[in-house]
Structure 1
């Protein structure tokens, strides 16, 4: 007889287990699934290109975010981390997949970019060299792969690691375009995430209501010859953590 629920972390791990083996996409055991995903670097996956997100470039061009210390969550092959480093940011980048980190490190060496890469679980950064604080936390496609209960972990990470006055910028699946639109409770009934969760602007504003909205819009569709990555099935959002009095 198991009686092993005593803390919030115990509850979160129990809920993680309901999605096994799909949980391997976001938990510490995700290496095998994502390593297979990143094994062939020539696959025609849109975000395999070595280009920064168009919204990130836009934020920087308009001065909405300024140079400082940045964390790239779910960095993949490192395209956004390298862009930030090229502009003088001090960049930490984390991903669960050793294959993704190896590819990102190869790109960084080729570009002569200084990025500190970390292979592991972003929710376990507290107490490590990647614990922050950060002026910018950037997330290009990590948030929509989390099960609903892990939003608690995500918001806790922001509370720990984002400085007052700092920014969260993210891209995620747009409802009506990409991702599952099932109610949160149905994911637990079915023990599946159906490839990722879709969000509406209203849901994003509610989830991140503790932050001030700077901009929320659809990602622009960028042509193949553009220097930026852009796909219109994604929301782009920029939020600011208000400076404390």
Structure 2
């Protein structure tokens, strides 16, 4: 595993432990945006999120956890929802705010640690995780899911789009159905309504993207 570099040490959250993805790459989330688009930054919303919005899947106040440059946030906001996009990468958030201003879309962006979402002091009826959960190892997921629980209204919905372990061309952090079920348990206050096969587009997987799961998870 790569040693922790200076880019990992330069973090706005004092004492934040680098995530497994950061340790694997030797690079902070913010540094991923310093030399052009990050591998997951496709410059437009994910098709699964566009479809979800068209089907009326969003309701109430919306949180986009790990929003990056804000393409999904802005797409949901363009449908008239109050959306907060949060990320630990300040460079990505600056791009997101610039995109929002350039397109005349009202959306809010804030820096936040995904493991400390309760510090936002707000709750949301819909929470979107597009490509964040799959960057966390199994030992990190309980803390992240507890963080999601702290900001999701009872009766609210969390949508997770993540790399799947099924099929050729899987992404670098594939997740199984069983791992999703292990993360979001009834004992933890969750009901998994559906886990459906889908696709995640990246800058390196071709036009069809990589195999994914699209999970619909209810807060009970």
The interval holding the TM-score normalised by the smaller chain is 0.7 to 0.9
Unmatched 5+ stretches in structure 2: none
Q: Which residue of 2 aligns with 1:59?
A: 52
The structure 2 residue matched to 1:74, chosen from 58, 62, 66, is 66
8 Å CA contact 1:67, 1:87 repeated in 2: no
- The 2-side partners of 1:33 and 1:78 are apart by 18
Q: Which residue of 1 aligns with 2:161?
A: 171
CA shift at 1:70, angstroms? Answer: 0.9
- The 1-side partners of 2:58 and 2:91 are apart by 30
- The 2-side partners of 1:61 and 1:237 are apart by 17
Q: Which residue of 2 aligns with 1:241?
A: 219
**Hey, which of these two has a bigger chunk of strand by percent?**
2
8 Å CA contact 2:53, 2:76 repeated in 1: no
TM-score, length-normalised on structure 1?
0.69
Q: Which has the larger radius of gyration?
A: 1
Is residue 202 of structure 1 aligned with residue 197 of structure 2? no
The structure 2 residue matched to 1:104, chosen from 71, 96, 99, is 96
Q: Which residue of 1 aligns with 2:28?
A: 33
SS of the residue corresponding to residue 93 of structure 1 reads: strand
Note the alpha carbon deviations across 1:64-87, whole angstroms, 9 max, x for none.
x23311111111110111011111
- The 1-side partners of 2:147 and 2:210 are apart by 28
**Hey, which of these two has a bigger chunk of helix by percent?**
1
**1:64-143 aligned within 5 A:** 65-127=57-119, 130-143=120-133
- The 2-side partners of 1:212 and 1:69 are apart by 20
- The 2-side partners of 1:107 and 1:117 are apart by 11
- Structure 1 139/24 Cα, relative in aligned 2: closer, same or farther at 3 Å? farther
CA RMSD, 1 decimal: 3.1
